[in-house]
Amino acid sequence: MKALKYLVRVSPSGEMQDVIHHIAVLVGGQENLEQSPEIIAALRKFYETHRYHIVLPNGKSGLVTAGGNAGDAENGDFIYYDNILGLSFSFNPFTLAANIVSEEPMEIASGPTRDSLVTSLTAYTAKAYRKGKVLFSV
């Protein structure tokens, strides 16, 4: 199991779906993989560390961050809040199929510095990049 967790940790970001397929073969099938709490924890850390972009049903991309984790890790929930989009979303860590959980903004403790950064970064990215080409988290 230690070797499989290492394999998840060192996988290149764009190849995780292929790695998951190969790990499923090694552990005896997709069902065994999805029931392994150690692999699920390794996948959570991978997605959060790489700030993975999840394509949502509305066509936007949600950003997976440790600070945005709104689920219960004990239950294996992959629910995240994207403070830039102002919505919560869940996704399957094995297929990346996503659902929007709530479009209501969550109260996040922030100060004027964070609010100023969000405003400035939003203005800059709107001017410097095409719409939908850049994501950020503060």
Higher pLDDT, 58 or 107: 58
The CATH homologous superfamily to which domain 2-108 belongs is: F-actin capping protein, alpha subunit (3.30.1140.60)
**What pTM value is reported for the model?**
0.76
At 119-135, the pLDDT tens digits run 888 899 889 998 878 87
Exposure b/e, 3-35, CB count within 10 A at least 16 = b: ebbebbeebeeeebeebbeebbeebeeeeebbe
Q: What confidence tier does 106 reach under pLDDT thresholds 50, 70, 90? A: confident
Decide if 46 contacts 11 (C-beta within 8 A). yes
Amino acid at 76: G
Q: Where are the alpha helices (DSSP H) in the chain?
A: 2-9, 16-27, 30-34, 37-49, 112-128
Is the confidence at residue 114, as pLDDT, over 80?
Answer: no
Decide if 105 contacts 86 (C-beta within 8 A). yes
Domain ranges in the chain are 2-108
CA dihedral sign of residues 125, 126, 127, 132: positive
Q: What confidence tier does 110 reach under pLDDT thresholds 50, 70, 90? A: low
Is the confidence at residue 72, as pLDDT, over 80?
Answer: no
